[in-house]
């Protein structure tokens, strides 16, 4: 699929993401950086239409590299570009980027402390029918232990764009964990992003839900349903999983009887594990419940069915919260 060609031979961008508007925010964020004078170079592994980078490529073809289906080479090449003073952003399916390229991320990017930005899109179970080979429910676990690597899981497109803009002066390499662009919007275009800081939407004494990525929107809806039942429920969006906002975790644990983490990820090694580590070091008396995908390979089905099956939609999160409080 290509954009329409004009009479002068140039190309006019036409969003192919009408069904996936969140993906346009990736290109928009990169275009913001270019306008600010950041020497951005973008690359992908044959997925410019799936991740929306086609928009950036059409605006700045001299700053775009199509690596083809060679993800490991793409990560190593991005590290090489970074040594020249460029700030490379490379994107592909999260299952390939975080798992297939783990060695290149560790040795070529993080060990050398190069400002490479890794965009793992279609995370979790977002690819549905593509199955286990394309699902990414271990990417946070695999990458969180790599020293010097920042991990960000935006809740929606505007927060992704804000995080990309904020990355201009961030010294460490970054792994952005994004979904497929069809997620409901949580924030407006004026959202402010700060690395290492969570966003507290509400406080509660009975329960605090700490969510990241795709689970922020259903967590907010679940909290509304629980408040309608008379419960005091807080919600925290934790977009930066590493470095974690430990102070916000401790304040929530000190205030609430139960802390419930929610993530589209294996409960081992992800957001829930990061929160557990903080709560274990400074005991508060609050009970922690980790909600996500249990230690198993996710099933094959449409994403909407999978979210319901794993209770990662609003009714499912509310049901898990009631069980935890009971």
Q: Whole-angstrom Cα distance, residue 269 to residue 293?
A: 12
Local confidence band at 89 (pLDDT 50, 70, 90 cut-offs): very high
Distance, CA of 129 to CA of 242 (rounded, Å):
30
Read off the pLDDT of each residue in 289-309 and give the average, rounded to a whole number.
94
CA distance 169 to 165: 9
Instruction: Give the mean pLDDT of 270-299.
Output: 94
- Structural domains present in the chain: 21-177 (3.40.50.970), 199-325 (3.40.50.920)
pLDDT digits (tens, 9 = 90+) for 189-238: 999 999 999 999 999 999 999 999 999 999 999 999 999 999 999 999 99
pLDDT in tens, 38-62: 999 999 998 888 888 999 999 999 9
Q: Is residue 72 scored above 90 in pLDDT?
A: yes
DSSP secondary structure code for residue 130 in this structure = G
Mean pLDDT of 247-269: 97
* Whether the Cβ atoms of residue 18 and residue 182 lie closer than 8 Å to each other: no
pLDDT at 8: 46
Cβ pair 11, 58 in contact under 8 A: yes
Task: Give the DSSP H or E segment for 247.
Answer: helix 246-255
Q: Has residue 284 got a pLDDT over 90?
A: no
Judged against a pLDDT cut of 70, whether residue 113 lies above it is answered with yes
Q: Is the pLDDT of residue 242 over 70?
A: yes
| pTM: predicted TM-score of the whole model, two decimal places | 0.91
Show the tokens assigned to 203: 């406080």
The mean predicted confidence, pLDDT, of the chain is 92
User: pLDDT tens across 12-48, in order?
Assistant: 434 444 445 556 899 999 999 999 999 999 999 988 8
Rounded CA-CA distance 295/266 in Å is: 6
Say how far apart CA 189 and CA 61 lie, in whole Å: 26
Res 13: pLDDT: 39
**Model pLDDT, residue 152:** 98
Res. 180: pLDDT tops 90: no
Mean pLDDT on 52-75: 94
pLDDT at 9 over 60: no
């Amino acid at each position: 699929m290509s954009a329409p060609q004009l009479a002068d031979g140039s190309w006019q961008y036409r969003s192919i993401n009408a069904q996936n508007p969140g993906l346009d925010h990736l290109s928009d964020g990169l275009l913001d950086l270019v306008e600010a004078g950041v020497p951005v170079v973008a690359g992908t592994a044959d997925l410019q239409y799936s991740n929306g980078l086609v928009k950036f490529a059409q605006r700045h073809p001299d700053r775009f590299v199509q690596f083809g289906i060679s993800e490991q080479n793409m990560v190593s090449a991005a590290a090489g570009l970074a040594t020249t003073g460029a700030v490379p952003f490379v994107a592909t399916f999260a299952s390939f980027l975080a798992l297939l390229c783990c060695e290149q991320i560790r040795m070529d990017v993080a060990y050398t402390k190069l400002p490479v930005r890794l965009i793992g899109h279609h995370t979790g179970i977002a690819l549905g029918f593509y199955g286990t080979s394309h699902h990414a429910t271990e990417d946070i676990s695999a990458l969180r232990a790599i020293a010097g690597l920042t991990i960000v899981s935006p809740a929606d497109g505007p927060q992704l764009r804000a995080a990309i803009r904020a990355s201009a002066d961030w010294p460490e390499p970054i792994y952005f964990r994004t979904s497929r662009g069809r997620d409901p919007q949580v924030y407006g275009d004026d959202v402010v992003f700060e690395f290492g800081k969570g966003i507290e939407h509400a406080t509660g004494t009975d329960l605090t839900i700490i969510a990241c990525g795709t689970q922020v929107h259903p967590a907010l809806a679940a909290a509304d349903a629980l408040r309608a039942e008379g419960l005091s429920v807080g919600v925290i969006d934790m977009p930066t999983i590493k470095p974690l906002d430990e102070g916000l975790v401790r304040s929530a644990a000190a205030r609430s009887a139960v802390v419930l983490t929610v993530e589209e990820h294996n409960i081992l090694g992800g957001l829930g594990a990061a929160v557990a580590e903080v709560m274990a070091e400074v005991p508060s008396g609050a009970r922690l419940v980790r909600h996500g995908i249990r230690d198993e390979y996710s099933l094959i089905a449409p994403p909407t069915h999978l979210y319901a099956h794993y209770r990662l939609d609003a009714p499912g999160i509310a049901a898990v919260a009631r069980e935890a409080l009971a």
